[in-house]
Amino acid sequence: MASEPMASEPMRVLTVNPGSSSLKVSLLDLDDTVLAVESGTGHEMAPMVTDMPKPDAIGVRFVHGGTDFTEPVPIDAKVTEQLRDLADLAPLHQPASLHALSEITGALPGIPAVACFDTAFHTTLPDAAATYALPEQWRQRFTLRRYGFHGLSFSYAVRRTGELLGTIPPRMVVCHLGSGASLCAIAEGRSIDTTMGFTPLEGLVMASRAGSIDPGIPLWLIKHGLSAQDVNSALDRDSGLRGLAGTGDMRRIHELAGERDVNALAALDVYHHRLRACAAAMTASLGGLDALVFTGGIGEHDPSVRMRLAEDLAFLGVSVDPHRNTGVDGDADITSDDASVRTLVVAAREDLEIAAGTRRALAPR
């Protein structure tokens, strides 16, 4: 696992993006042309890169950087140990990223690797948004604060929205909707509020994560005989849409809802109730809304979710054109002609943010 900066840039970068339910590997050329891409649900790296050209550098997505990592950083043994210490704050992601790092550096020895962090985009959160109302000694001892996640996705969505519209809207709410999901309030390109917090459990209803719940519930469950480990596992893996409808697959939930399955219909209602409330809260943090942006697997590919949220936010001036909404293929402006808020769909390209961060981290100082 090398950590020495490269002699020059640009460079060919292999991006490694372990998600909560998937793994994607992309090789980007010097001009960010995608030379090769592999994806899967496992984390065995060697077969995925065997036939790819050799990269100059490797960039690995890490969900949690804590307070130590606010920029991409070359990886060495010390950094790896620090990343391992953060694993219990993102149990669905951090171990997967550490495993992928071990696999890819084993498959490609001697190539420098860089960690790129989802939390880094949210270092601009004001204290009022980042601070939990907890005892000061807890906040100081355990560094309890809202970190925010999906930062690589949000960062790209901001940049791409600026390219599509010719300027970055001053007040944006970006909706990263996938297996994991969160919203971000972005003022002048900077994160000022977000729905995920200390861990990726807070906020929206997700595929298998509960999102925000009364903190008394896990305490009550533990008091009544469940172990802390079982409660934590259930909140991460057996809750959310899976807990409501028996599946975390939104496509399957739509199918079941079409068959009038009561659990699927209820799951959609709960999902959209939380989504509407959080989107309105993000808008309140901004003091208004100029653009609503959808990204992530559901955000990009589910026109019914986009339409329903747009209808829920009509009072803010959001309205989407039905034909544009159903005809999305890649990046698109789906705003209706009479809307005061622009609504866009942006294909998630975390690989581009990882590559850019890797090049910055390895550039000569």
The residues annotated as belonging to the active site are 118
- Phi/psi of residue 350, nearest 5 degrees: -60, -25
Cβ contact 178:241 at 8 Å: no
What span, in angstroms and rounded, lies between the C-alpha atoms of 301 and 7?
41
- For 172, the 3-state DSSP assignment is strand
**Element holding 338 (H helix, E strand):** none
Nearest to 177 by CA among 272, 292, 313, 298: 298
CA distance 276 to 297: 18
Structure tokens at 282: 């993000």
Q: What angle do CA 112, 32, 300 make, to 5 degrees?
A: 110
Cα–chain center distance at 1: 26
Structure tokens at 47: 């077969």
Cβ atoms of 169 and 181 closer than 8 Å: no
113-117/342-345 β-pairing: unpaired
Cα–Cα dist 325/113, whole Å: 39
The helix (run of H) or strand (run of E) holding residue 142 is helix 136-142
- DSSP string for residues in 61-115: EES--TTT-SS-EE--HHHHHHHHHTGGGSTTTHHHHHHHHHHHHHHSTT-BEEE
188, 277 Cβ separation under 8 angstroms = no
CB contact burial 84-102 (16+ within 10 A = b; e otherwise): eebbebbbbbbebbbebbe
The Cα 63–Cα 20 span in angstroms is 10
